[in-house]
């Protein structure tokens, strides 16, 4: 889904693996970065940030389902902790669309490529896109 690292379950396994190695090697710390060029909302990164905090502060071998339940409990509230409230994975399935959305040529998947953005409305003419029939 992403040029640098897939978003499968918000990068759960790579985050867990890097934090495990940090704990095993007794390293002083680990750095977490967030690059999100292919999403219109930050909801696709919060769970990964939570997982990073969960594993990096005091590593414990927690399985995916338990970590996701804990995320929903802490991020959305106890009532939304059960599995039937899982929707983060659905948000991630939209990411391939945003690789080419708002472009007329190319994609943003590989940063060495050229791409052309669509013509956006003139900010000096509020509402102009609605009058021309453009839809976003």
Q: At residue 3, does pLDDT exceed 80?
A: no
pTM: 0.68
Q: At residue 136, does pLDDT exceed 50?
A: no
What percentage of the chain reaches a pLDDT higher than 90? 41
CB distance 51 to 15 below 8 Å:
yes
CB distance 7 to 92 below 8 Å:
yes
- The beta strands (E) that lie in 6-134 are given as 103-105, 116-117
> What's the rounded Cα separation, in Å, for the pair 90 and 125?
36
Q: At residue 56, does pLDDT exceed 80?
A: yes
């Amino acid at each position: 889904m992403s040029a640098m690292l897939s978003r499968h379950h918000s990068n759960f396994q790579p985050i867990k693996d890097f934090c495990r190695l940090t704990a095993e090697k007794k390293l002083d710390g680990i750095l977490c970065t967030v690059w999100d060029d292919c999403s219109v909302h930050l909801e696709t990164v919060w769970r990964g940030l939570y997982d990073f905090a969960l594993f990096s502060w005091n590593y414990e071998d927690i399985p995916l389902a338990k970590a996701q339940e804990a995320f929903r409990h802490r991020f959305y509230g106890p009532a939304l902790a059960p599995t039937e409230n899982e929707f983060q994975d659905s948000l991630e399935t939209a990411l391939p669309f945003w690789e080419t959305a708002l472009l007329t040529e190319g994609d943003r998947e590989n940063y060495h490529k050229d791409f052309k953005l669509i013509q956006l409305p003139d900010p000096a003419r509020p509402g102009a896109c609605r009058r021309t029939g453009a839809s976003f």
